[in-house]
Amino acid sequence: MRVLVTGATGFVGRAVVGQLTMAGHSVIGFARTSKPGQCELRTGDILDQAALDHAVEGADAVCHLAALTLVRQSFAEPVRYFRVNVTGTLNLLDAMNAEARRSGRTLRRKRSPSRKHRNRRRAIPCGGGRRPASRGSWFWHVPQRHSPG
C-alpha cells in the first residue's frame, strides 16, 4: 500500500514512517523541510493547497501527523496554531477528496487509536512480544482494565 505521512520528519512521523516501511508499505513523506529519511519526501506547507494536491497523488492511505504542537506557544499565537492545525487539516481533506474524485476511488475514514482509547488510563509502547490492542492501533498496546473480584 502507498501511504502518505504528513509531518514525516517530526518525532512521531519518523517512527510511523519506520514502522510502515518495516511492514512493507511504500511510504511518501510530506514535510516543510527536506531532511534525509527512510522514504520518498515531498516538501511543502500544509497550508499550500497545490503542494498537498501533489502530495496525495497516487496515495492509497494518509496518516496525518503535521501540526504545531507547543502548548505554551499556542496560547501566545492562537491564530497561527488554528490556521496550521485546523485549516491545514481541512486543506488535506480537500486534497484527498480531489484525489478520490480524480482516481475514482472512495474516500474512507478510519478512527484513530487515540480517540478510540481516550478513556483508557495509560498506553504502553508495543514491544517485547506484545500485540497491538486492535488493528487500528499499530504502535500502542492499551492494557484492559480488569473488574475487581
For the chain, domain boundaries: 2-103, 113-149
Summarised one tens digit per residue, pLDDT across range 2-49 is: 999 999 999 999 999 999 999 999 999 999 988 777 889 999 999 999
HEC per residue, 27-47: EEEEECCCCCCCCEEEECCCC
pLDDT of 125 above 60: no
CATH T-level fold of 2-103: Rossmann fold (3.40.50)
Model pTM score: 0.73
pLDDT computed for residue 127 by the predictor: 42
Instruction: Tell me the one-letter amino acid at 26.
Output: S
pLDDT of 135 above 80: no
* Phi, psi of 53, deg, nearest 5: -55, -40
